[in-house]
Amino acid sequence: MVADPAPPRGGWEATPDSFQRLLRWLVEQPPQTFGWCRTRWSCAALALTITARIGLSYSRETVRRELHSQGWEWKRAKLKAKDDDPERARKLARTGATIERLRRDEAFFWVDELDIHLLAKVGYQWMLKGTQVEIPTPGQNRKQYLAGALDLRTGEIHYVIGPGKNNLLFRQLLALLSGALRPADQTPLCGRRQLQNSQGQGRRSVARETPAGEGSLAAELLPESEPD
């Protein structure tokens, strides 16, 4: 159980100061702590919790106005990746050193991949009364996968798209980059996910997809996640 904040002098009374202090403290606590099966506070839940704990009754609209006056606003949270890679510092240091040592005849690519969801996002739009726009679905759980490489110096993006996120997709990207390199180029690739999940296969693919006499590719690993 979370202890209530220190009450104002004279105890909790139906005063603006008491209400403001309690609300300011309460909104920073997780709702689950007070028995709510939810991850975010609503104004109604805040008002009911205040009443249950100290017997002061306020409407949800009063709570909403007070939150706005204290600088709070209702907006979406953002997801943050876990920073649990023990090799994070070493990998970033190695990547930084590679960039600093780049010669004029070398290129550097940031490499990653992503899922492309084919199911259209459905939102509100104008429709005539009594009608509803229908948008066909692509099929259950259908996706496409993209592997891309961003050239550090030019900002150019190279990419390939395929039906699966696997070693073949990564090899297709390597083949694309190999064809774009000049014979003298030595190109480091920095990425996580595919390079990490199939590190051995990925490095062997680098050697296979670089014919003799053409530009060469060298793989570097980034941390598993990027919380920043």
79 in a structural domain? no
Residue 145: CB atoms within 10 Å: 17
For 38: left if phi > 0, alpha if psi spans -120 to 50, otherwise beta; the answer is beta
Please list the ranges in the chain whose pLDDT falls under 70: 1-16, 181-228
Q: What is the pLDDT of residue 223?
A: 66
25 in a structural domain? yes
Kindly state whether residues 45 and 98 are assigned to the same domain: no
Q: What is the pLDDT of residue 227?
A: 53
Q: What is the pLDDT of residue 74?
A: 85
Q: What is the pLDDT of residue 43?
A: 92
Kindly state whether residues 154 and 61 are assigned to the same domain: no
Q: Which domain holds residue 44?
A: 16-69
Q: Any long-range contacts for 141-147 (C-beta under 8 Å, 24+ apart)?
A: 142/118, 143/115, 143/116, 143/117, 143/118, 144/115, 144/116, 144/118, 145/113, 145/114, 145/115, 145/116, 145/169, 146/113, 146/114, 146/116, 147/111, 147/112, 147/113, 147/172, 147/173, 147/194
103 in a structural domain? yes
